[in-house]
Amino acid sequence: MERFERQIILPELGREGQQKLKMAKVLVAGAGGLGCPAILYLAAAGVGTIGIADGDQVEASNLNRQVLFGFNNIGSSKAAAAAKFISERYPDTQVNVYDRFLTVENIPKILPFYDIVIDGTDSFATRYMLNDASVLFGKPLVYGAIYRYEGQIALFNTGKGSANYRDLFPKIPDSGEIANCSEAGVLGVLPGIFGTLQATEAIKWITGIGELLINKVLFCNLKNHSFYEIDLVPSNEAQKNRPATLEVFLKTDYSVNCQTVSDIGWNEALESSNPKSSVFIDIREPDEIPRWSNSQCLEIPYGELEEKAELFSEETSIFLFCQHGIRSRPAAVELRKTLKRNNIYSVTGGVEHPDSPVKQLI
Ligand SMILES: Nc1ncnc2c1ncn2[C@@H]1O[C@H](COP(=O)(O)OP(=O)(O)OP(=O)(O)O)[C@@H](O)[C@H]1O
């Protein structure tokens, strides 16, 4: 009781609210930038059972924001490392570890056990899959997403008339349209703020405190301190592609809907390329430096790419690169669509990547 004294004295929470938290079961999908702070504050607040699902391992580049991990965790399962962190500090929290990615096959066995789910994942395929599962199993979903200095959060699927992810994004974007943290970068505190807001929304839903973000999306931009909300109107039209039954859900291949572009690293691209059957194309503007003088590399700025790419035979693999790998991704998506073939790649990290031959020449 002493551990929760400061929140029990909150008039709206009290012993009753604390008991509700103790009885609550929250599933956190993804123990990454959003998931880590969410898990930490849920446990600190006294949520009785937390499920942590993630099939990934800790990398050094995660440490600026995934605050449950340190250098000693590099290479370990994120779900197991997060669970260890929590169990050591809050032995009164029951932690269930799912050290695997959530999929259409495993989520029907996991989700029904929980009261609410927090989405801390980073792929469209998973976001739509989690959303559709939460509707099918009648579980509220706390949505959160971040980009560079901005983020958004909402509470979906709390019952009849409550909007879900498909009302916010009816059309699944091509994965290349929007960069993720590894391409766009992220200030570590941003997922800290949004993961904590997600935990807050879950705690409010469990205890019945305050107003919930139902049919609303909250946005925040850290650069100019703007916090604002928009209304979200549920629509039947947005729901037409959502599997209506468990049977259809189990057969849905979410990764097919999210068209993926094969990103390729410099080392793999260089190894698999050969002058007769592949070409590297620098899609930057001519004044961008450093340049790569290599017989296998052509310089075709993004704007001229579509018309000139017709010149390459179907067998030629095309490796597109730019400064950081941000423009080459949508360029590869567009070119794959135009030329109707898949042997077109975006080289991860562009010329600024440490493995890039251009960087190594400097
Ligand atoms: N289907 C899924 N089930 C469970 N966890 C998932 C699923 N898809 C993605 N995740 C996890 O969501 C987390 C998202 O974290 P975050 O956005 O911070 O990115 P990251 O993948 O850890 O790092 P980076 O994008 O920099 O490589 C990751 O740990 C990832 O493994």
Q: Is 68 exposed, middle or buried (0-12, 13-18, 19+ CB in 10 A)?
A: buried
Q: Are residues 125 and 241 in the same domain?
A: yes
State the total domains in the chain.
2
- pLDDT value at position 260? 56
Specify the residue with its C-alpha closest to ligand 1, atom 29.
32
Q: Are residues 284 and 217 in the same domain?
A: no
Mutation probe of ligand 1 site: the residue of 39, 56, 78, 132 with most atoms within 8 A of C-beta:
56
Q: Are residues 94 and 195 in the same domain?
A: yes
Q: Are residues 81 and 166 in the same domain?
A: yes
Q: Are residues 16 and 120 in the same domain?
A: yes
3-state helix, strand, coil split of the chain in percent (to 5) is 40, 20, 40
Interval 274-288 mean pLDDT:
90
Final residue belonging to a domain, choices 255, 284, 305: 255
The structure tokens listed for 123 are: 């792929």
Q: Are residues 30 and 169 in the same domain?
A: yes
Q: Are residues 113 and 229 in the same domain?
A: yes
DSSP 354: T
The CB-side HSE value for 141 (13 A sphere, CA atoms) comes to 29
Interval 87-92 mean pLDDT:
96
Strand order through the sheet with 344-347? 263-264, 344-347, 317-321, 278-282, 297-299
Q: Are residues 232 and 336 in the same domain?
A: no
Summarised one tens digit per residue, pLDDT across range 304-318 is: 998 898 888 888 999
DSSP 30-93: --STTHHHHHHHHHHHT-SEEEEE---B--GGGTTT-TT--GGGTTSBHHHHHHHHHHHH-TTS
What is the residue whose two structure tokens read 């009753």? 16
Q: Are residues 126 and 19 in the same domain?
A: yes
Q: Are residues 67 and 134 in the same domain?
A: yes
Summarised one tens digit per residue, pLDDT across range 19-58 is: 999 999 999 999 999 999 999 999 999 999 999 999 999 9
| pTM of the entire predicted model | 0.76
DSSP bridge pairs for 216: 231
Catalytic residue among 36, 181, 220, 258: 181
Final residue belonging to a domain, choices 189, 220, 255: 255
Domain extent for 273: 262-361
Is the separation of the CB atoms in 51 and 113 below 8 Å?
A: yes
Final residue belonging to a domain, choices 255, 286, 321: 255
The structure tokens listed for 25 are: 């079961």
Specify the residue with its C-alpha closest to ligand 1, atom 9.
121
Q: Are residues 245 and 267 in the same domain?
A: no
Among 81-85, 174-178, 249-253, which is the least confidently predicted range?
174-178
Q: To the nearest whole number, what is the mean pLDDT of the chain?
A: 91
- pLDDT value at position 10? 94
Summarised one tens digit per residue, pLDDT across range 244-259 is: 999 999 998 787 555 5
Q: Are residues 106 and 134 in the same domain?
A: yes
Confidence bin at 156 (pLDDT 50/70/90):
very high
Q: How many helices (H) and strands (E) does the chain have?
A: 15, 13
The structure tokens listed for 30 are: 């993804």
